[in-house]
Structure formats: C-alpha cells, structure tokens
Amino acid sequence: MASYAFWNNKGGVGKSFLCFISACEYAHRHPETDVYVIDLCPQANLSETLLAGHLSRASVIGKLTNKTPRATVAGYLEARLSSPFRQITDVTPYITTPRKTNPEIPANLKLVCGDNLLEIISEAIRQTSQLSIPVNAWKQVLSWVKDLTTQLKELSGPRDTMFIIDCNPSFAVYTQLALVAADFVVVPFTGDDSSRRAVENVVALLYGYGDAHTAAYASISFSKRATAEGVGIPLLHTFISNRQTLFDGRPTKAFEAVNSVIQKTVDDIYSKHRNIFADKRRKPSEGFLEVPDYHGASIVAAMTGTPLHALKPGPKELEGERIQINPEPLKRYKKALQQVVDCL
C-alpha cells in the first residue's frame, strides 16, 4: 500500500488534474490494484472530472451529497465528529465507483468524493482536535483520514492498493488530515516566482524548516507537534514543473530560468535536510519532471472526464465550440504525463 498527496501551497498549479491523470492511468495499467482517490479539496474538481465531466457532474455530486449519510469525504468526517475517538465500523457508504457514471474510468478506481461542506465543518474538526481530554485528541483527529485508508485497504482484502489524495493549497485542518494519511508528497509547480515561495512554504509548514523568521515559530510548528505525538509526516517524493510553454520542443528561456531557480531552492533544502526526501541518494533536481502546456488536451480531458489512455487526436465539440487536438502535441503531452505515473 502506498499513498500520495498532491500538494503545493499555491493554487492553480494543476494538482487536481495531475491527480486525475495519475489515478486513472495507474488503475488502467494495474487492473489487479484497487486505486482509491480521496478528494480533500472543498472545490471537488477532481471528483467532478472523475464522475462524468461537465455535462452531468453537478447532478451526480448532488445525488451523493443528498444521501444519508452524505456519500462524500465530508460525510465520513461528519460521522467521525459524532464519535471522535471511535472507529467507524463500515466505510462503504462513503465510497463511489466513478465508472457507473463515467464508463471511461477503470473499474478498479474508487472515489471518496469531495464536498464543499468540508470547508464548513473544518472548524468543528479543528476544535475537536484541541480537546484536552483525551490527552491524545490531536493525534486521533489528525489520523481520521489515515484510519480511512486502513479500512479501505481491509476492504480490498488481498488485492494491492494505491491511494491518491488531492489537497487544497491551504494548510487548513483538512489538508493536514490528507498529509498525515500520505506516505509521500508530490509537488506540482508552475514557472513563476510565487511557485518558488510556495515550495519553500511546503517545507516550512510541513517540516518546520525555513529562514530565520520561520525558525522563530519552530517550537509551535505542525512538525514539532507531530514528532512529539508520534504522528507520521510524509516524505517529499516528486516535483513536477507543470504547464511549461515550449518553443521548438524546448521550454522557453523564461521557464528554464524560473525552473533552475526552483531546482536550486529544492537542492539547497536537500543539502541541509535529506531526511524529508523520499530519495536520499540523489539531488531532487535530478528527478524533476516536466509537463508541457497543452491546454486543448487538458481542457477536453478535464471537461469530459476522459483519461489519458482514452484521449484521441482529432476535432472535439465542447459547449458548442470546436477544439482540435493535434497528434504530435498530444503524443508529447502523453509521454510527459506518463512519466508522472511511472514515478509512483
């Protein structure tokens, strides 16, 4: 069993779409493995893509949220709020099979659907974690999603399992739940300086490492408390330079310049804190992945819920507009995205 959280402290870097591609392609390649997607972003964009695409996703998610209990991640967390320090005996009401509404999705992919109620109940979750009794309330609450992965693994029996967890950019309590449940963190970023700062924030928020100003808060950091209470923290696994603009098949000089700065930033962190990286034998920059910008293909895939293996070149009709997916850019795009899946 391995679990990957896709997270960056910056929005708009393509986390949800990369989760979609990774989960679908891994499930397609490994039919003997149960791939569980846990959508811990209140926007639920990943769930919308998996369930049906733009034509019917709202009605599908509406049916899930109208069930009793809600067949979503918020439904599961509401149940935990009702009995904070007791395991739920049956988690099957919170699992959805996307293939039932979207035949392009592999049958071995299961979803714990996202839900905007997650934002509403987050304060209740945070307050529950701060209870003075039991003394390990914080640890127990922060482990709720990890408990869920354990129960889902049990449901799969002897089959292999893989978990893909989509995170919100914030470091809200539901993001902390996601990260505690993960073994590894995949960090997508885009070619701008705000992404560099966001990568530094990932390290500061999750591990308590940073500049002198960050160090002033180290004693009350998430990492400090997690270490003190025996809560596991995931390791940094892969960095993905997403949506690169290409010229003559190469990233533009502007993108290369920013990427080199981000690579140096991460390598500098690695030189001081190898313990937070999954691969301690090589510099992180040696394993950086690059995904070119191909909006046409990504928009069609996201809007129609079409996985990478099922995406074909040619003209597509979307909301009355004709979108042309050309073979060569699609081939390059697929090759780059397949490298993302290969690293899992």
> In this structure, which amino acid lies at residue 289?
L
Q: Which residues contact 124 (CB under 8 A, 6 or more apart)?
A: 81
Distance CA 225, CA 138 (A): 9
Give the three-class secondary structure for 249.
coil
* Per-residue pLDDT, 150: 97
Q: What is the pTM of this model?
A: 0.94
Pick the CATH number of 2-342 from 3.30.70.270, 3.20.20.140, 3.40.50.920, 3.40.50.300: 3.40.50.300
Do the beta carbons of residue 77 and residue 38 sit within 8 Å? no
Distance CA 111, CA 228 (A): 33
Largest CA distance in the chain: 62
- Please work out, in degrees rounded to the nearest 5, the angle formed at the alpha carbon of residue 21 by the alpha carbons of 19 and 22: 65
Domain residue limits, the chain:
2-342
3 state SS for 46-95: HHHHHHCCCCCHHHHHHHHHCCCCCCCHHHHHHHHHHCCCCCCCCCHHHC
* Per-residue pLDDT, 250: 58
Residues of the chain with pLDDT under 50: 247
* Per-residue pLDDT, 244: 57
* Per-residue pLDDT, 54: 64
* pLDDT per position as a tens digit, 64-122: 999 999 999 999 999 999 999 999 999 999 999 999 999 999 999 999 999 999 999 99
> In this structure, which amino acid lies at residue 24?
C
* Per-residue pLDDT, 48: 93
